[in-house]
Structure 1
Amino acid sequence: MTSAEAVTEQDALRWYEFVQERHAEELRESYPTTDSTPATDTYREQYRAAQSNYQDVVDAVHRGDQAAAEEHLAGLRERARKWAAHPDHPEASPA
C-alpha cells in the first residue's frame, strides 16, 4: 500500500487476521506444557493488543481520519514485522 492509497477496513482486517493467526500458532507451539498459564496469558495480552489496534483503525476509517487510520495500521504492521518471511505475510510477493 502506498501513502497515496486510503486505508480501508479490509486492509486492517487483512493485517489483523494475519497477526492473530501467528499468535495462535505461537500458542499452539507453547501449549500444552506442564504449566500452560504463561503461554495463555501472553496470547491473551497479544490478542487484546492486536484487537485494539484493529478496532482503532476501523474507528478512524469510519471517522474519515486517514492519518489516525494509517498510524493504527502501522501498529498492526509492526506486530507483523517479526513474521515478515512468512509466506502469508500481507506484504509477501505472490508466487
Structure 2
Amino acid sequence: MGIDTQDLVSKLEGFAVQGIKGAAENHQQHVSNVCAAICNIINCQLWDVTGDPKAKIQWAQYFQNVITHYQVVIEGWPEMIPFTNLSSASSSLAQLEVLL
C-alpha cells in the first residue's frame, strides 16, 4: 500500500481517541439538556402553582426560598436521586430520565 505502518497506527489511535472524546462530549451535552428540561418542567409547575412568573427552583436555599416563601413542596422525588442541583446530582441518563 505504500503507507508507513507506524504512521497508520498513529492515525488510527488519534481517530479512536477523538471518537471517544466526541462520544463523551455528546453524552455530557445530552445529560446537560435533560437536566435543563427537568428544571424547566419544575419551574413551569412552580409558576403555575404560585402564580409568580419569577418563581424558580433554588436548590441550595430550597426550604427558605421555595417552601417557606411560596408554601410549596415538591412531592414524589425518587429516593435514588439526591435532591440537589441536578448538574451535581447524577450523570446517569437513566436516573435523570425518571424525572421527566
- Establish whether TM, by shorter chain, passes 0.5: no
Q: Which of the pair has more CA radius of gyration?
A: 2
Greater fraction of residues in helix? 1
TM-score in terms of structure 2 length: 0.34
Structure with greater contact order relative to length (CA < 8 Å, sep ≥ 6): 1
